Chain A
């Protein structure tokens, strides 16, 4: 057992460092995804909170008429109705058309219930692109990003399993946090955040691997189907049953009225709410209509639907939420990963667990350097490398928090008419992160920790103030009070900013205390400052 534990300890240490920084980035940006809609709302202060649709059937028909005028000859239209935490507060229409060269053209509309154009919000990368960073990494091709994310997740899984085996006293030390004992305190903190959130960490990592697993199938696809631009399309159509498009015959026909279809939808899929409607070959006698439920309404991450013949209203097929046991397992794991089904309380728990995952990696990274510092014994080269890693840790861990704060700053301060504004929000994030890493490289690590932790606290504490100075969607207006509904989505984001600021202010204070009173081993417990908590 001891040799297994030792070999696992070696594996845990090295896989941890190798992918630690990547995984920290994935955990931080990924956690933000549990509030993607709320961040979208914060970053688009021009938008109202979601409109309520009074008459869905009429709204769908109006939207489809608008889409038909807007993109004549489209292959399909998809109309999304707004609901709580939907990606847009308006009715959204996505149409696929074909241009003169036979290439596909995608257009989209944002509409109000009466079919008029919805207000245009500022150009922003929003919560959507912030959380997408956790597998796209922004500056690299999509396929490469997915591969990197998948590899990192596999290593994370190895680190979790080897970490459990390495942990000597998982039950004896369950409640133990020894303060001001240097490496011991860091190990305790690392163990606590890891063990407390273990079910979440195992779930999120394993389901994360599954979410990008098809990326690793590409060599298999190529071996089976040959290499061409259409390979992936062919495979996807076969794997996921992307229904073969029926060619329109050019004979015009009206769609049956939506009310009839929605009534059948309710009868065929009881308990499912209306999410979106897809019309293929609109205006043609071959038109089909699929009425979908809402993905996030069940723990199984799937959109159930009823498919109709558009001209007659005949039911072609019904696809419930759970199609088969195998796809059910996959869909549940993906559903658990994204947590779309989570209500407000569970969403807080998801977010906190995600942040504790980031804390697990951050404490692990610090622990890595502490352990090695003990074994240096005057080796100058090893010390130089270690100091480099210590500096990078500061820039990566604390710097990323400042950078994400800067991302929100950019949303408020970049000129509204700026070209590629959304891109520049993301550039701001990465430029500020780079600046933090450079700052960490030129400052002494202990100073850099204090300055960047305090910086992170300052940036997040000032965000609600910046919000109040630049928009009317500040806490004074958004907090729900007796007699006014407020806007809890936007208020929640501001409140989380303050909580995050408080956490980092505390961490900065602890780091400063430690700096002020260094190297006094075995201090009495009462006056000992606690270890910095992420």
Chain B
């Protein structure tokens, strides 16, 4: 269970970070997102990633936790890369932030 939770936090975390880059936004959504929504993706991505790290430390202790973080982060990041390369549209379902009011997509 601890492992599943660690992955369940890291995976959308990396998806959020991935969706905060304009290159991958184009691949996933067809066009780049506006700056406010990009910032939200980045903030959520980092928050989830940090939560995964804290979770590992809390579950496994700082020593084993540090090792666990390295492994979890590796697998989660590789999974996001695999998705954004081969099934880019799926990445949008991994992480979602609401679009700020009055926000229009960048051209």
Q: Please give the number of chain B residues whose Cβ is less than 8 angstroms from any Cβ of chain A in the complex.
A: 24
What residues of B have a CB within 8 angstroms of the CB of A199 in the complex? 70, 73
Contact of A299 with B3 at beta-carbon distance under 8 Å, contacts A176-B23, A196-B77, A196-B78 already known: no
Interface residues in A149-205 (C-beta closer than 8 Å to B): 172, 174-177, 179, 192, 196-197, 199-200, 203
| C-alpha gap A346/B80 in the complex (Å) | 20
Known: A177-B81, A350-B71. A299 touches B64 (CB 8 A): yes
Q: Check B74 for interface membership: any CB of A closer than 8 A.
A: yes
Q: Does B18 contact A (CB under 8 A)?
A: yes
Which residue of the partner chain, among B71, B84, B86, contacts A346 with CB atoms under 8 Å? B71
Looking across the interface, which residue of chain A has its beta carbon closest to that of B72? A349
- Least CB distance, B30 to chain A, in whole angstroms: 13
Q: Which residues of B contact A342 (CB under 8 A)?
A: 67
Q: Does B68 contact A (CB under 8 A)?
A: yes
A339 to B75, CA, bound (A): 18
| B74 A196 Cβ-Cβ under 8 A | yes
Kindly provide the distance from the CB of B55 to the nearest chain A CB, expressed in whole angstroms.
14
A232 within 8 A of B: no
Please give, as numbers and ranges, the residues of chain A lying within 8 Å of B75 by CB-CB distance.
Answer: 349, 352
Q: Is the CB of A332 within 8 A of B77?
A: no
- Interface residues in B42-98 by Cβ distance below 8 A to A read 63-64, 67-68, 70-75, 77-78, 80-81, 84-86
Q: Is the Cβ of B68 less than 8 Å from the Cβ of A346?
A: yes
Judge whether A341 and B71 touch: CB under 8 Å: no
Check B18 against A175 for contact (C-beta < 8 Å).
yes
Identify 13 residue pairs between A and B in the complex whose beta-carbon atoms are under 8 Å apart, listed by A's number: A172-B21, A175-B81, A199-B70, A200-B70, A200-B71, A299-B67, A341-B64, A346-B71, A349-B68, A349-B72, A349-B75, A350-B71, A530-B85
- In the complex, B24 has a CB within 8 A of chain A: yes
Q: Which 6 A-B pairs have the closest CB atoms?
A: A349-B71, A199-B70, A177-B85, A175-B18, A299-B63, A345-B3
Instruction: Choose from A299, A345, A349 the contact partner of B74 (Cβ within 8 Å).
Output: A349
Contact A175 B74 (CB under 8 A): no
B64 close to A197 (CB less than 8 A): no
In the assembled complex, the Cα of A312 lies from the Cα of B54 at a distance in Å of 50
